[in-house]
Amino acid sequence: MSFLFEPSVYNEAFASDGTIRPHWKPFWEKLQENREKLAFCSEQSERLMHSGFSDSAEKRACGVVPFILSRQDFETISKGLIQRAQVFNAMLCDLYGDQTLISQGVLPPAAVFGNPMYFPALRGLTPANGVFVQEYTADLERSPDGKFWVVADSLQIPQCVGRAVKNRRVSTRVLPETYAAATPAPVSDFLETFRRHLFANAPSNKIPTVVLLTASTNRPLSFEESYFARNLGIVAVEPADLTVRGDKVFLKNIDGLKQVDVILRHVADDLCDPLELKGASMTGVAGLVHAVRAGTVAILNPLGTGLAESPVFKAFIHGICRHFTNSDLLLPSIAAWWGGQTAEVDYLIEHQRSLRFFDAFTGTEAAPSTADLQRHPERYVGQERVAASEMPIVRGGEIENARVRLRIPVVYDNGAYRVMAGGLAFTEAKDGKGLCDVWVNAPVSAARPSASEKNVVPSRTAFELTSRIADNMYWLGRNLERSEQLARLLRVALTRATQGSDFPDPNDVATLLCVLALEGHLPFADFQDSAERENALKTLKKIMCSESYGFGLRFLFKRLKEMADQLHDRLSMDTWELFTALAPLLPEESANYPIVLNRLDSIIVRQNALSGLIHEDMTRDHGWRFLEIGRRLERGLQILNLLSGIQSCKIAGFDASLESLLETSDSRMTYRVRYMSVPSVPLVVDLLVCDKSNPRSLIFQVKELRRAIVALERESRTPSLFAKENTILRDMAKVLEDIDITTVDLPALTADLRDRLQAFSDTLTLSCFVHNTSTRQGPAYNKGKLK
């Protein structure tokens, strides 16, 4: 073994004499047999984990080598973490209750009353099931003597379970041979425990509505959040999706309000209720504390749990533990000193270089100067550092050592705490950070021969759609269609202007410019004049490339990307990636026409791929229906614009190039096959408006719209919610079917149809998206206008 390790650091895999530790042996031997595959394994692991999550820690692929924990070490950690969860729970119950920790001198009052994480408004409130710490994760490091130390606790928004289960799936697939040899304890059942626990918290007996409350920062969901949303059968919502009516919390669904029973909370305490938890905050759900007080909703972890995360308590954890349990901590907690204690200020200043500093209350890492420590010592906690242990990792096919920290989740289940026999291991080597699975050697009896984990039990909970998501889906559809139509118009116009066409038409470019002008992209001008045309073409490039141009392609692609990010958990990875890939394809404004056209081709190919994915890949749920409604509505409006184009050309004194209009609406081939003649206005109107078999005709869009509305209506809990929309569409279909193309008054018809589509869009907004308006803080005023 030519493996190098520092003797001053504990190595997880190797004893100090260089021999492999027994609990690593089965894995390590298999790994050696597969050594030539390691580079491939790393790559495969990257591929399996590949995702667009924003958080850099979440982007890390699962390492090939897992952290292997001996049964004995796991038992020690497990007992220690259960005790720690109990101590934190007792502490929170006390601080939001009788406060004996303060009155009996265990904690100085400043640690709590001067702590912005403490909310008097929550004092006396009973948390869900009387338990504050319902889920919890602890970070551990192993010192050179082999002891584990708790270095960090996450109580308010612990995130680990989802990623740990996902990592396990990757680690079992990358090197199945090693997994079979080592037979680690399973982790997926922990997710099931978590799910059971979540649903068991509902205040009433009926099947509960459970939501995952995430912060509204217009960001994609974190890995954990989107994993939960997909695998636990719960809806991911933002504060704006919830509303308090009376003393209950409701979800603003597309078909009205639905009572929420359990909230899995991923929002910090101070951002949960602007009425009771923070003076000037506007985010949150107004009245949430009121609902909790009334006992109609369970929040996990309960409001107030954030207090226990203040580093200041680390300095008192031993005393707190003795106060509640009459015994010492089973698992040592890393030493910490709080500057609020006179005797400890000197220690902090003396050891300033070797300690890690944190804001004593909020927990943000800090780097105070000596002067800061002298002036405001109570604001800081200094914490010792552990010389963390190392474990082998694979990098580029080679094995090297990296420092490691473990994160292990704990969940309250049916009266007791359960510790996951697994978790996450965060590695840190000289040239980068990594993440890997944690395997706990299972007792022989529990060993599983199968190389693959059983999948999580699929959720059967009803699909919910919030107004916000529906609104986003709708606009995603509209903007996608708008961008497609614009790209096609630009391509046809630019091709014909710069390269001519197989079917040249003296008015083709002028006609297309007219349509673009109708859509507001260009000022109207005499497009038959070649100088004006030249001018307009320059603008077209701008529409495509410029950042500053309001409704051009760059703008639309940017919006699409933002919306796709927000809908991350509802779109497949491939779909999301295609949305992301659009903007980078746009050329610089200085690019020449051939390059511009080349890029337009690539863009249109990807847009078509997107349409295909949306059509073939997406589940036909309500979300898809709103996307479809947005697309069909927009396509309908675009068709009407083409018809108006015919009229505008006539007003401008020339005949519209029907050929080029058919090309932009992708109907040229259809027309040729059908009529084998030069296009005429009545036949073009028939093809674009009345032809039911043309997927680019208006009547086709109206029928599809109606299909989506009927499906929504059928599954909605509110009767007749979509009745108006349905009527509008039915009447419109009737008008379209009755058109006589030989006598029709085109301008009047176009205007009438446009009004109907607009009425449909307005009605839909009223029925479904009206809940989705933002709230704001009401005015407050100064007291006392007299002396």
Partner 1 sequence: MTRYHVRHTTVYGYSQPVTLSHHLARLKPRNTPFQTVENSTVSMTPAPAYQTDSTDAFGNTATFMLVETPHTEMTVTSDFTATVAMPDYPDAKNTPAWESVAGALALPSAPETLDAAVFAHPSCFVPFSQKAKDYAAPSFTPNRPVLAAAEEIMRRIYADFKYDSSATSIATPIDETLEMKRGVCQDFAHVGIACLRAWGIAARYVSGYIRTRRAAEAEKRGEIEMIGGDASHAWFSVFVPTYGWVDLDPTNNMYMQTEHLTVGWGRDFDDMSPVKGLMTGGGSHTVKVDVSVRTA
- Enumerate binding residues for partner 1 (CB under 8 A): 99, 102-105, 108-110, 113-114, 116, 120-124, 243-247, 274-276, 278-280, 282, 286-287, 290, 293, 376, 773-787
The 3-state secondary structure of 102-137, one letter per residue: HHCCCCCHHHHHCCCCCCHHHCCCCCHHHCCCCEEE
Q: Which helix (H) or strand (E) holds 408?
A: strand 398-413
CB of 219 to partner 1, least distance (A): 23
Q: Which residues are CB-contacts of 227 (< 8 A; sequence separation ≥ 6)?
A: 162, 163, 165, 166
Q: Which is nearer to partner 1, 99 or 598 (CB)?
A: 99
In this structure, the number of other CB atoms found within 10 A of the CB of residue 613 comes to 18
* Choice between 257 and 583, CB closer to partner 1: 257
Rounded least distance, CB 604 to partner 1, Å: 41
Cβ pair 701, 746 in contact under 8 A: no
Q: How many residues are recorded in the chain?
A: 787
Judge residue 261's burial from the number of C-beta atoms within 10 Å of its C-beta, 0-12 exposed, 13-18 middle, 19 or more buried. buried
Query: Residue 381: left if φ>0, alpha if ψ -120 to 50, beta else—which one?
Result: beta
Residues in Cβ contact with 283 at an 8 Å cutoff, skipping those fewer than 6 apart: 215, 216, 239, 267, 271, 274
Q: Which amino acid is at 432?
A: G
Residue 717 CB burial class (10 angstroms; 0-12, 13-18, ≥19):
exposed
Nearest Cα residue to 328 out of 318, 337, 316: 318
Shortest reach from residue 115's CB to partner 1, in Å? 8
Nearest-angstrom CA–CA distance, 349 and 357: 11
Supply the minimum distance, in Å, between the C-beta of residue 252 and partner 1: 11
Q: How far is the CB of 468 from partner 1 (least distance, A)?
A: 14
Min separation Cβ 293 and partner 1, Å: 7
Please give the DSSP secondary-structure letter assigned to residue 495. H
140/389 Cα distance (integer angstroms): 10
Q: How far is the CB of 774 from partner 1 (least distance, A)?
A: 7
- Residue closer to partner 1 (CB basis): 56 or 364: 364
Residue closer to partner 1 by CB (options 122, 262) is 122
Least distance from partner 1 to the Cβ atom of residue 479, Å: 25
In this complex, which beta carbon is closest to partner 1, that of residue 74 or of residue 118? 118
Residue 781: CB minimum distance to partner 1, A: 5
User: Least Å distance between CB 292 and partner 1?
Assistant: 12
Query: 269 and 118 in contact (C-beta within 8 Å)?
Result: no
Question: In terms of CB distance, is 295 or 504 closer to partner 1?
Answer: 295
Min separation Cβ 96 and partner 1, Å: 10
Cβ-contact 172, 452 below 8 angstroms: yes
**SS3 string of 529-563?**
CHHHHHHHHHHHHHHHHCCCCCCCHHHHHHHHHHH
Rounded Cα distance between 713 and 254, Å, is: 11
Q: Maximum distance among all alpha carbons in the chain? A: 97
Q: Which is closer to partner 1, CB of 122 or CB of 639? A: 122
Rank residues 248 and 754 by Cβ distance to partner 1 and give the closer one.
Answer: 248
108 vs 220, which CB is nearer to partner 1? 108
Measured from the CB of residue 382, what is the shortest distance to partner 1 in angstroms?
20
- The minimum distance between CB 55 and partner 1, in angstroms, equals 30
CA pair distance 567, 784, nearest whole angstrom: 49
- Between 224 and 276, whose beta carbon lies closer to partner 1? 276
Asked if residues 421 and 187 have their Cβ atoms less than 8 Å apart, the reply is yes
Q: For residues 137 and 732, what is the distance between their CA atoms, to the nearest angstrom?
A: 58
Q: DSSP character for 478?
A: H
d(CA 716, CA 731): 22
Pick the closer one to partner 1 by CB: 127 or 422: 127
In sequence order, the 6+-apart residues with CB closer than 8 A to the CB of 102 are 95, 108, 109, 112
Nearer to partner 1, 104 or 619 (CB): 104
Residue 582: burial class (beta carbons within 10 Å; 0-12, 13-18, 19+): buried
Q: Rank residues 111 and 687 by Cβ distance to partner 1 and give the closer one.
A: 111
Nearest-approach distance from CB 572 to partner 1, in angstroms: 34
Place of tokens 């949430």: 288
CB nearer to partner 1: give 1 or 786. Answer: 786
